[in-house]
Amino acid sequence: MDTRLSEDDLAFQVEVRQFLAEAWDKELAATYGNIATMKEGAEEWQTRLYHKGWVAPHWPVEYGGTDWSVTQSFIYNSERAAVGAPEVLPFGVTMVASVIIAYGSDGQKEKFLPRILKSEDWWCQGYSEPGAGSDLASLKMRADLEGEEYVLNGSKIWTSYAQYANWIFCLVRTDSSGRKQEGITFLLIDMDSPGVTVRAINTIDGFHHLNEVFFDNVRVPVENRIGEEGKGWTYAKSLLVHERLNIAEVASSKCALTVVREEAREEINGGKSLLDDPIFAKRLTDIEIELMALEFTELRALAAISEGNPPGPESSLLKIQGTELQQAIQELRMDVAAYYSGTLQGELTPAGLGHGFADTAQKLYFRGRASSIYGGSNEVQKNITAKYVLGL
């Protein structure tokens, strides 16, 4: 039993810190943080990572991955989150690339993987439909084979950043006769195809990221199908497992909690720092204690993976507990901001508004409500844990 870092890992940690100090500067953080310039910011960040060779660490080396150990990935993620740098947007590098690498043809790998690495394509994910959310397999968007093309009709919803994307990967229905999990096919679709339209969905956080995407007789060549027709569900499921492991975001929550603590220290109520309020201190430390536990639950899962074993049953909790803690921190920060948590900064500066972080706090709070809904809602996660871990 030993959780200390080796000499090599400590050296790697130094290298990561040096890279981040140069590559994630204030200017880039500001560009990325503003919705008007977010796309440029993301592409610049990914380009800097690409030049370092770190944009897709989890890929096989032959396609541009890094061959990092599990510990190295953990170190990179912890250090990245500690400086507030974002994860690379997952839709291309993590989601569709994993499926292309595992199940795609040689032609698809040659065509798409280099463009993903260089941020030349922006991908979005077309899974959910208006009638298929947590019950994803009940999706209905049709793809009918006509000669060498599929003809698509239907719509996808909750599509993050579809307004920026030039490619979308979709689960579509090619057969309705059998079990609902069968007859689903995985397609790669050029967003510039005739018949594709994108509608923005305004959300409670005031930040345009969600969209509905409509497909009206969109023609997609068969060569853009991943693997076999009707196997899309199997391909997508392997990817969902990846999404769940990634979702705890312990390192980011640790960073966020430190920020809230320091903000609370400066908030004076009746001549006393908010940190000295016993009820506030209880809430803050409840979160910190659970986060300390979750950090080791994640390490336990990583240790298992690094030994070539599947992560233990405890990893099924990462999504539920990780998102509950993210939301608890966001909620606490709203309370630290007091009256200002209800203000919109708009064109004002923080000084003009009279408060430094309230605008950010309320945006993160409302955006954060989504984390217990996406990737399989937390209630669905509990059903899955009950069935597969507890055997109920």
Partner 1 sequence: MDFNLSEEQTLIRDSIARFVSENYAFDQRNAVVAMEHGFSAEHWQQFAELGWLSIPFAEEHGGFGGGPVDTMVIMQEFGRGLVAEPYLATVMLFGGLLQAGASEQVRENYIPQIIAGELQGAFAYLERQSRYEMTDVVTRADKDGEQWVLNGEKTVVLNGGAADKFIVLARNAGEQSEEAGLTLFLVDASSTGVQRTVYRMTDGQEAATLSFKDVQVEAVIGAVGDGYALMTPIVDDARLAICANALGAMEALNEKTLEYCKTREQFGVAIGSFQALQHRMVDMFGACENVKSLLLRAVCAAQDDDVDARRSLLALKVMAGRAGRLIGGEAIQLHGGMGMTDELSIGFFVKRLMIINSLFGDADYHQQLFAALVNTPASSAAA
Options 149, 243, 290, 295, the catalytic residue: 243
CA-to-CA dists, residue 214 to 29, 70, 114, 136, 166, angstroms: 33, 40, 28, 18, 14
- For position 135 contacting partner 1 by CB under 8 A, the verdict is no
Restricting to residues 205-244, which ones interact with partner 1 according to CB under 8 A?
none
Kindly state the number of chain residues that form the binding site for partner 1, as judged by CB under 8 A: 47
- For position 262 contacting partner 1 by CB under 8 A, the verdict is yes
Helix (H, G, I), strand (E, B) or coil at 225: strand
CB of 290 to partner 1, least distance (A): 7
Q: Classify the C-alpha dihedral 162-165-167-169 as positive or negative.
A: negative
The nearer residue to partner 1, 151 or 384, going by C-beta atoms, is 384
Residue written as token pair 């023609």? 219
CB of 281 to partner 1, least distance (A): 4
CB of 38 to partner 1, least distance (A): 29
Q: Is 110 a catalytic residue?
A: no
Segment interacting with partner 1 (CB under 8 A) among 18-26, 215-223, 314-322, 346-354: 314-322
CB of 261 to partner 1, least distance (A): 6
Strand 272-273 with 268-269, pairing: antiparallel
- For position 4 contacting partner 1 by CB under 8 A, the verdict is yes
The nearer residue to partner 1, 51 or 265, going by C-beta atoms, is 265
- Both tokens of 199, joined, read 């509608």
Restricting to residues 52-91, which ones interact with partner 1 according to CB under 8 A?
70-71, 74
Q: Which residues pair with 231 in a beta bridge?
A: 184
Segment interacting with partner 1 (CB under 8 A) among 57-65, 298-306, 344-352, 364-372: 298-306
CA-to-CA dists, residue 263 to 133, 257, 259, 289, 337, angstroms: 37, 10, 6, 19, 9
Q: In angstroms, what is the C-alpha Rg of the chain? A: 22
Segment interacting with partner 1 (CB under 8 A) among 164-172, 203-211, 221-229, 286-294: 286-294
- For position 265 contacting partner 1 by CB under 8 A, the verdict is yes
Strands (E), 127-209: 142-146, 149-157, 167-173, 184-190, 196-200
- For position 388 contacting partner 1 by CB under 8 A, the verdict is no
Restricting to residues 9-38, which ones interact with partner 1 according to CB under 8 A?
none
Restricting to residues 237-256, which ones interact with partner 1 according to CB under 8 A?
254
Residues in CB range of 54: below 8 A, 6 or more apart: 19, 66, 76
Position among 116, 220, 294, 336 found at the interface with partner 1 (CB under 8 A) = 294
Q: Which residues pair with 211 in a beta bridge?
A: 200
Cβ pair 260, 331 in contact under 8 A: no
- Both tokens of 315, joined, read 């990893």
The nearer residue to partner 1, 200 or 296, going by C-beta atoms, is 296
Half-sphere exposure of 253 (CA within 13 A, CB side): 30
Residues carrying an active site annotation: 243
Residues of this chain that bind partner 1 (CB under 8 A): 1-4, 70-71, 74, 254, 257-258, 261-262, 265, 275, 281-282, 284-286, 288-290, 292-297, 299-300, 302-303, 306, 313-314, 317, 320-321, 379, 382-383, 385-386, 389-392
